[in-house]
Structure 1
Amino acid sequence: MTERPTRPLPHVAHRKGGTASAVRIVPEEIPVAFSYGGTTHAVMMATPADMEDFAVGFSLSEGIIEKASDIKEIAVEDHDQGIDIQITLAGNKRDALTARRRHMAGPVGCGLCGIESIEQALKPVASVEPEGMRLTAGDIVQSVKLLSSMQPLHTETGAVHAAGFYIAGKGIVAAREDVGRHNALDKLAGALARQEIEVPSGAVVVTSRVSIEMVQKTAIIGAPVLIAVSAPTALAIRTAEAAGITLVALVRGDEFDIYTHTDRIEIGRTAHVA
């Protein structure tokens, strides 16, 4: 893939009452099309990195596949205006997608776009309730600190989101970045599926606010805990409660808020050590 995730661009910097010519590294944002069997299903604006993970994670989030092996082949094609990801599904999944298209009112572009009804947008999420999964207060704090150290694109640009997966005693075992918070989480989902990482024993950690879609994607991943540096919406909290997901948000230093299923977090204990 020839597209770069970042590029240096000139600008005029205003500092301390004066101006000067400068160069800043900025993240790239381009159209990324997901095509199944030669037909475009969706187009997302995204950072051109980790495209194979993005393809798998998006397919999981859309309910097109259930596991990475449901995809037979992924071909990332560069075009003048963006990237087209050609995805070939296994036979049974290809037939299911063909049947699904007959009932779609339009293409799904992002989030709730193209959904036919409110009921579809607010459909129940699968229950995530692994036995005996626990994190300490120290784990919560450490997970955010570790994710912060695994964001090379953000270090360069200061303008992208990240999603990581934390396992107590192991740290962040996978992390992905994108200009879009949903995209970063989809890329993480794809990475976890492709690497066959056991998700019931860990937590999704994100650098963004928590909307219902972030909770829905976490449920699809199968993670019992979602940790965020910013605030959740009311609907996200209700959805996490119904899904059996422990929602931790507004992690600031050693302080944070627990909104749902608080029994999974052991307050007053330090992080598990690898």
Structure 2
Amino acid sequence: MLLNKFTIQVPIAKINNDDIIIKNDIIIKEERVSFYLNGNKIISTMCLPNEQDFHIVGFLMNEGVLESIDDINSIKISKDGLSVYLNAKINEDNISNLYYEKTLTSGCCVGVSANFEGKIVEKFISSKISFSIDKIKSIIEEFDYNSKLFNLTGCVHKVAIICDNKKFISEDIGRHNAVDKAIGKARLKKANLNNAILIVSGRLSMEMVIKCAMSDIPVVISRAATTALGVKSAQKLGITLIGFARNGNFNIYTHKSRILT
């Protein structure tokens, strides 16, 4: 199913030391998926064409355009999966920002975000939740098991949200998309993200941290690195930021009090 739906096979010449091997390679598909809000097309994104409903909800909530799941009237995905339609009550100021000025992000698939200012950077997550070092190591170890799609292609990012003994896992060719999908999934399930840990396979830049802050996620972990603005944003927003989380090791960059030593 995964092979047929999200991947294709292409012929390649594989160089293996001094040998040339002709074989088929499995590569990931990417599609342009269009988001429609209240009848208007707002953006298209190159992504893995799955979990489109979670994707649009997460994206709009992370941009501050959609403020509550209860404001959603309907979500519909087209038969070909390349368009998703959401009708909802929205924040008109923040939807205007999407059209007014966009920032080209450091996303692996070149993400776009608009609402980096205003109430987003005024947030501070004051969650008192804490986790032991052993708990963090356990979460990292479990996350390290690769997905079927990654095993087939080596070409997807993975995000997991752990909260109240529930897990919400999403994958995409773009780390921003994967975060949007996982957050959208958790928010639609009415999860209390103020008690959550989010762990991601890709690096943590500023816009990734802001996405998590918009859903009040207090602890954010990456198997990879963080950027200077990622650290600065996490410090300002009240997020415990952890990087290089692999092989039983990790670095705590901000708000260390949530990790019990």
**Deviation per residue, 1:166-212 (Å, 9 max, x gap):** 248x4x61110000000000000101011112212221101011100
- Structure 2 Cα separation of the partners of residues 114 and 249 of structure 1: 23
Paired residues in the alignment total 253
Amino acid at match of 1:40: K
Instruction: Return the TM-score normalized by structure 2.
Output: 0.87
Q: CA deviation at 1:99?
A: 8.8
- Structure 2 Cα separation of the partners of residues 64 and 167 of structure 1: 24
Of 248, 251, 255, the match for 2:249: 255
Partner of 1:211: 205
Q: Label 1:222 to 1:176 Cα distance change in 2 as closer, same or farther (>3 A).
A: same
Q: Label 1:56 to 1:115 Cα distance change in 2 as closer, same or farther (>3 A).
A: closer
Q: Does structure 2 retain, via aligned residues, the 8 Å contact 1:204–1:227?
A: yes
Partner of 2:172: 178
- Structure 1 Cα separation of the partners of residues 156 and 94 of structure 2: 36
Match of 1:124, SS state, is: helix
Q: Label 1:265 to 1:232 Cα distance change in 2 as closer, same or farther (>3 A).
A: same
Instruction: Return the TM-score normalized by structure 1.
Output: 0.83
Q: Does structure 2 retain, via aligned residues, the 8 Å contact 1:246–1:261?
A: yes
1:147 lines up with 2:146 in the alignment: no
After superposing the two structures, state which structure 1 stretch, 183-192 or 9-18, moved more.
9-18
Structure 1: runs of 5 or more not aligned: 268-274
CA RMSD of aligned residues (A): 2.7
Identical-pair percentage:
25
Match of 2:127, SS state, is: coil
Amino acid at match of 1:226: V
Partner of 2:162: 166
Amino acid at match of 1:151: S
Match of 1:165, SS state, is: strand
Matches of residues 199-238 of structure 1 in structure 2 within 5 Å?
199-238=193-232
Matches of residues 83-102 of structure 1 in structure 2 within 5 Å?
83-89=82-88, 92-93=89-90, 96-97=91-92, 100-101=95-96
1:138 lines up with 2:134 in the alignment: yes
**Deviation per residue, 1:122-165 (Å, 9 max, x gap):** 9515211112x111112222212222336232122111101101
- Structure 1 Cα separation of the partners of residues 139 and 98 of structure 2: 42
Q: Does structure 1 retain, via aligned residues, the 8 Å contact 2:202–2:223?
A: yes
Q: CA deviation at 1:15?
A: 1.4
Partner of 1:270: none
- Structure 2 Cα separation of the partners of residues 103 and 6 of structure 1: 32
Partner of 2:108: none
Amino acid at match of 2:70: S
Q: Label 1:103 to 1:258 Cα distance change in 2 as closer, same or farther (>3 A).
A: closer
Structure 2: runs of 5 or more not aligned: 106-110
Partner of 1:20: 21
Q: Does structure 1 retain, via aligned residues, the 8 Å contact 2:62–2:212?
A: no
